[in-house]
Chain A
Amino acid sequence: GAVVSQHPSWVICKSGTSVKIECRSLDFQATTMFWYRQFPKQSLMLMATSNEGSKATYEQGVEKDKFLINHASLTLSTLTVTSAHPEDSSFYICSARTSGSSYNEQFFGPGTRLTVL
């Protein structure tokens, strides 16, 4: 149980284009999903918290107009990187939290590797 999927697993795009990444909770409902960014040989950095039916909460330093997050249903959150540039190239990972106990760990997706040429 508690499986999170991401699509696509990797994407290459040209500079200036937009890319959408999907995060789905396959066997549970996730009222809250999270988007992380991981640079090579570095840790995960939380970008934003996505709540179903409301606006995402962005971490300090993350441009909300560049990284658009939509959490339209209890099983799907999307991250759109708008007008992508080479510096946006990274590994993007989503996670989801089940409702209930506040001690629940987060369940992570397999990640999406974005390369902007």
Chain B
Amino acid sequence: AQSVAQPEDQVNVAEGNPLTVKCTYSVSGNPYLFWYVQYPNRGLQFLLKYITGDNLVKGSYGFEAEFNKSQTSFHLKKPSALVSDSALYFCAVRDLYNFNKFYFGSGTKLNVKP
């Protein structure tokens, strides 16, 4: 079975500092991994995905994520956080056999303070 885990309920960072939101995965084969962001009372917005290829994936709004097979991780990163980055972030993995089915992590609330 596929699953992702987000070990931190909340991450606090000062504006201008680098941020990392952690995600680890458990997949029996090659994982298809995604990051989404959710603003209050809004749906999820796609940030980036890893399917294959370069381990460093660049996405929207200056975010990037690094796929690490040995550590089974897919951490979301940004070199310099903005207050507007404050939101709820979800890591997700797609089912290997049913491409329509996603398994989401529990979410990490990112607080960026000015």
Residues of A within 8 A of B (CB): 4, 6, 9, 32, 34, 41-44, 46, 49, 93, 95, 97, 102-103, 105-111, 113
Residues of A within 8 A of B106 (CB): 42-43
Across the interface, name the chain A residue whose C-beta is closest to B52.
Answer: A103
B44 touches A46 (CB 8 A): no
Contacting pair A110 B99 (CB below 8 A): no
* Secondary structure of the B contact surface, majority rule: loop
Judge whether B99 and A111 touch: CB under 8 Å: no
Q: Are A93 and B41 in contact (CB under 8 A)?
A: no
Q: Does A46 lie within 8 Å of B101, measured CB to CB?
A: yes
> What 9 A-B pairs are tightest by C-beta distance, nearest first?
A108-B43, A108-B44, A43-B104, A102-B99, A110-B43, A105-B46, A44-B104, A109-B43, A43-B106
Given known A42-B106, A43-B105, contact A97–B41 (CB-CB < 8 A): no
- Is B25's CB within 8 Å of the partner chain A? no
Chain B residues closer than 8 Å to A9, beta-carbon distance:
41
Supposing A102-B99, A103-B32, A113-B41 touch, asked if A43 and B46 sit within 8 A by C-beta, the answer is no
CB distance from A105 to the nearest CB of B (A): 5
Q: Does B74 lie at the interface of the complex (its beta carbon under 8 Å from any beta carbon of A)?
A: no
A93, B101: Cβ atoms closer than 8 Å: no
Chain A contacts of B107 at CB under 8 A? 41-43
Which B residues from 90 to 114 make CB contacts under 8 A with A? 90, 99-102, 104-107
How many angstroms between the C-alpha atoms of A39 and B90 in the bound complex?
A: 14
Q: Which of B32, B34, B41 has the most CB of A within 10 A?
A: B41
Closest to A45 in B: B104
* Most chain A CB atoms below 10 A, which of B9, B43, B102: B43
Residues of B within 8 A of A108 (CB): 36, 43-45
Is B56 an interface residue when CB atoms closer than 8 A count as contact?
Answer: no
Partner of A97, one of B32, B44, B51, B100: B100
Which residues of A are found within 8 Å of B36, using beta-carbon distances? 108
Q: How far is the CA of A61 from the CA of B34 in the complex (A)?
A: 25
Using A46-B102, A97-B100 as known contacts, list a sample of 8 further A-B pairs with CB atoms less than 8 Å apart, ordered by residue number in A: A34-B100, A41-B107, A42-B107, A106-B46, A108-B43, A108-B45, A110-B42, A111-B43
